[in-house]
A and B are shown apart, each in its own frame.
Chain A
Amino acid sequence: MKQILLAISGLALLAATPRAQPPQQPSDITTTISSGSIGMPPRFAVPDFVPLSKDAETANAATAMARVLFDDLNFEHEFALIPRDVYATIRPATSMFDVPLDRWREVNADGVVIGTVRKTDIGVQVEVRLFNVRSGSTPFAREYSGSIANPRAYAHRIADEIHQQQRALSGVAQTRLTFNSDRDGERMAGTIENRGSKEIYISDYDGENQRRVTTGFSLNINSTWSPDGRSIVYTSYIRGMPNIFVSHIYQGTRDELTKNAGNNFLPVFSPDGTRIAFISNRDQAGNTEVYVMNIDGSNVQRLTNNPAADTTPTWNPQGTQIAFVSDRSGSPQIWVMGVDGLGQRQLTHESYADRPTWSPAPYNEIAYAAKTGPGQDIKILDLATREVRQLTFGEGTNESPAFSPNGRHLAFSSTRSGKTQIFTMSRTGQDLKQITRTGNNNQPDWSN
């Protein structure tokens, strides 16, 4: 699977980043590093970055960047990361020009990522080079500058660019999660008994930088991302009835999309960002149906028409089909239809299945939560082979799967650690990682 990109490294770098620094020795036309052992992933090391300024802030940022980058690269398993405790035996570099490549070769590294951090008038300047340990060449060499406030952002950017350049992989280090949480312990406003509010939160993909989006003192649930990652659509009970709102998180503004039309829930953006699918009882109380509307709330169209409950829509990556849940067969099952509502057919035959989420290309799968005992587990249906595989096995109850934008990971909620928390895992059910730890957190969605 190793791939040889024949682009000349200097040109590729200049095109990719405006402030890219030309590599010192563009002697090697091979821009990817392969493993010394056939069939194994390349072995990379990411020692702490080198602070070129003496202050503590720069030193802390340099350490943080390397450690976050290590985790980001480790997350995709495209490289075998040499454990950090091995690095202690190797003299740290003090600049790009005294990297002890012979020593890195002794610990069987194929590549080593060296970074320097220098404080500037406006913030910080970060230079990163990926050295081919055997040839001494630097197939990846880029420079970044900006604020020093969030060192993790540099690491995430570097990780995504290394994955893209070395493995032609869209990494997820710069992506984010949204979910709802009752962690604040605030009380709902209104004439209802003592009930805690739930608010919409966002975090980095690794659970860092958890931030609250809503301040409604209300019930806010079902949050999902717009395709551009700049808006979140969700259900809020702030007006009493559940209605659909969009928060534009960079502008700090909010739109109300449904008003005075029954109960409205479970909004999801179409992949092109022009439509929102949702469910509503607006035409018949007690009977939820799937609808779509424009992102300003106009042009509402009903897609399902069945006395059973139709709920929980999700779009396919092309935006041509919608999978949803219906209990018209007697129990909730995953169904699929065209975006015009035609061609409805049943996909699952579980005792109970809900919350379909359609994987991005190259995978053609739908993940969902299926009842497997007292609770639910996450399963994946391969749409080509119709085979179902199970990813969780009764560790608490597991619900609300959401694919990462590259289809290689899933976020979901689980009660395995006590309260309901957000976790991520690989699409094969491995690499379990707990994202939230405070309060109850539920219904994750993963940004592009």
Chain B
Amino acid sequence: MMRRAKSTIVFCLAMTVMLAVACGGKKPPVARPMPPPPADVADASATRPPAPPEPVREPTIVPPEPVRADTISSSTLDDLNRNSPLKPVFFEYDSSELTPAGKAALDEDATLLRRNATWVITIEGHADERGTAEYNLALGERRSVTARAYLVSLGITADRLRTVSYGKEFPFDPGHDEGAYTKNRRAHFVITAK
């Protein structure tokens, strides 16, 4: 049993290394932020399609999936959200229309949500500081719902996607220039259950 678990971890590590090597030319891929090693290694492997290992010999005793599930649950939702596995969607000024880049981000998010079918997420709508606090609540509402509608159109069930508007109350970048505003006009994803 110990041997089996160990070999799974070794296998996962090997996969991660291979993947990192394979994508060598580009930026480090999915497994990039990994503070405490064992938990996050398993974590990173969870973001890829479950590697079909070779448990066929003794399936009754040690199915590999439970091992992986256990290591995932040892990382909290806070850890998961800190690494932001779901990409935010950015908007133009005073707009809740999806840009091509925004749609591309949502396409990736939809893939991740399909792989992690138990995740329930909250889509937060945020605005930059330039409008009024009050109207930005309505604008943030629209942005969160625009993002949700697109995810639903990609087949994600609506009851996994709650929306909440934060208006301009929580800027991600505290600056007061266009660079900051660009980051703050967004739909942001928070995993609230997994």
Residues of B within 8 A of A (CB): 76-78, 81-82, 122, 130-135, 137-139, 141-142, 144-146, 148-149, 162-167, 169-170, 190-192
Distance in angstroms between the alpha carbons of A191 and B169 in the assembled complex = 17
Shortest C-beta distance, B180 to chain A (Å), equals 13
Check if A221 sits within 8 Å of B191, measured CB to CB: no
Closest chain A residue to B84, Cβ basis: A193
Sorted nearest first, the 6 A-B pairs with minimum C-beta distance are A286-B145, A309-B138, A354-B132, A191-B77, A354-B135, A312-B134
User: Which residue of B122, B130, B135 contacts A325 across the interface (Cβ within 8 Å)?
Assistant: B135
Distance in angstroms between the alpha carbons of A279 and B165 in the assembled complex = 12
**For residue B138, which residues in chain A have a CB less than 8 angstroms away from its CB?**
279, 288, 309-311, 327
Q: Is the interface of A mostly helix, strand, loop or mixed?
A: strand
Check if A311 sits within 8 Å of B134, measured CB to CB: yes
User: Which residue of B131, B137, B141, B190 contacts A191 across the interface (Cβ within 8 Å)?
Assistant: B190
User: Which residue of B134, B164, B190 contacts A354 across the interface (Cβ within 8 Å)?
Assistant: B134
Residues of A within 8 A of B (CB): 191-193, 195, 198, 219, 221-222, 237, 240-242, 263, 265-266, 279, 281, 285-288, 309-312, 325, 327, 332, 352, 354-355, 369, 371, 374-376, 397, 399-400, 442-443
**For residue A310, which residues in chain B have a CB less than 8 angstroms away from its CB?**
138
**For residue B139, which residues in chain A have a CB less than 8 angstroms away from its CB?**
309
15 further A-B pairs in the complex, CB-CB below 8 A; given A222-B134, A266-B137, A354-B135? A191-B76, A219-B170, A221-B169, A241-B164, A265-B165, A266-B134, A279-B138, A285-B148, A286-B163, A287-B142, A310-B138, A312-B135, A355-B132, A355-B134, A400-B133
**For residue B133, which residues in chain A have a CB less than 8 angstroms away from its CB?**
221, 355, 399-400, 442-443
Check if A285 sits within 8 Å of B169, measured CB to CB: no
Check if B190 sits within 8 Å of A242, measured CB to CB: no
User: Which residue of B135, B165, B190 contacts A192 across the interface (Cβ within 8 Å)?
Assistant: B190
Check if B145 sits within 8 Å of A191, measured CB to CB: no
**For residue A312, which residues in chain B have a CB less than 8 angstroms away from its CB?**
134-135
Check if A354 sits within 8 Å of B131, measured CB to CB: yes
Known: A191-B77, A263-B141. A285 touches B163 (CB 8 A): yes
